[in-house]
Amino acid sequence: MSRATNEQIWKWLDAVPDPEIPVISVVDLGIVRGVAWDADTLEVSVTPTYSGCPATSVIAMDIETALMDRGVEHVRIKTQIAPAWTTDWLSEKGRAKLEDYGISPPNEAGGPEQCPRCKSKEVERISQFGSTPCKAQWRCTDCLEPFDYFKCI
């Protein structure tokens, strides 16, 4: 098979969902740092969000599977830790999707801008940590709904 263009590969990767937050893709999350051909092997550089995130190995496997399904025969996943991942790399599309899904996107102020459900600004923190390493638990004091907040790092 002829080599796919970089543009095509990025499109394919943008269809690979994050295993823990399937509403956004690995590209939206900002963890795919680069794609490059090395002879007939496609090398994809991936950066971990949190260093101990258990989803990292699943993500590598999902990327490999997705590319092989598209006919790329040799895929190599390279883990790249520098520069360290930051939530600034979340795409605008990804941020909007998170909010729609009920996860408040990261905010530099250190907490959610609003309740993702009723949009009230009256929110309070329940815990600095949540169901995955990248999230914290918050609650809306107007509609009383607890929700996840994507931690800002």
The residue ranges that bind another protein (CB under 8 A) are 48, 50-54, 81-84, 126-131, 133, 137, 151, 153
How far apart are CB 53 and another protein at their closest, in Å? 7
CA distance 126 to 112: 12
Q: Which helix (H) or strand (E) holds 46?
A: strand 41-46
Judged by CB, which is closer to another protein: 5, or 128? Answer: 128
How far apart are CB 60 and another protein at their closest, in Å? 14
Q: Within 13 Å of residue 96, how many CA atoms lie on the same side as its CB?
A: 3
How far apart are CB 40 and another protein at their closest, in Å? 28
How far apart are CB 138 and another protein at their closest, in Å? 11
Judged by CB, which is closer to another protein: 87, or 104? Answer: 87
CA distance 55 to 61: 10
CA distance 94 to 113: 16
| Residue pair 139/148 in contact by the 8 Å Cβ criterion | no
CA distance 19 to 56: 9
Judged by CB, which is closer to another protein: 71, or 83? Answer: 83
Judged by CB, which is closer to another protein: 65, or 131? Answer: 131
